[in-house]
Amino acid sequence: MSYPTDRQYTKEHEWITADGTIGITHYAQESLGDIVFVDLPKVGTELTAGKTLGTVESVKAVSDLYAPASGTVTEVNDELVTAPEKVNKDAHSAWMVKMKVKNPGELNGLLSAADYEKFVNEEAGH
């Protein structure tokens, strides 16, 4: 699997674009299995890098979502409330929240697509 190069990745399997759009990776949705519920923050919520921003529930488990950077939620993907399976169909286009990033420098500490792919392969034992 090649990961889009227009975003940064976390070791908790979230991605963020330079404009503050956040979602989970293909690897994360594949590990979770069928996603049945997504719990996301409200617009205006202050997020802190590395802290929980919501949860994703699958038929297997409930997993926390972590903010890749600090900032304020400006938009929430309401489609996922009624159609959480969109994340399974295409995790890299099914964004979850958009935020105004407080400190763009925080994104520099995240993984590139190539580094994330290497991390996933190591985690999967390849």
**67's tokens:** 């903010």
* Residue 85: strand, helix, or coil: coil
CA distance 106 to 102: 9
Q: Is residue 42 part of a domain?
A: yes
Q: Is residue 118 part of a domain?
A: no
Q: Is residue 26 part of a domain?
A: yes
Domain CATH number, residue 17: 2.40.50.100
Res 52: pLDDT: 97
Residue 125 has pLDDT above 90, yes or no: no
Containing domain of residue 68, as a range? 7-103
CA 47 to chain centre: 13
CA distance 7 to 25: 11
Count of domains observed in the chain: 1
Q: Is residue 59 part of a domain?
A: yes
Q: Is residue 48 part of a domain?
A: yes
| 24-75: pLDDT as tens digits | 999 999 999 999 999 999 999 999 999 999 999 999 999 999 999 999 999 9
Using the Cα atoms of residue 79, residue 67, residue 110 and residue 119 in order, give the sign of their dihedral. negative
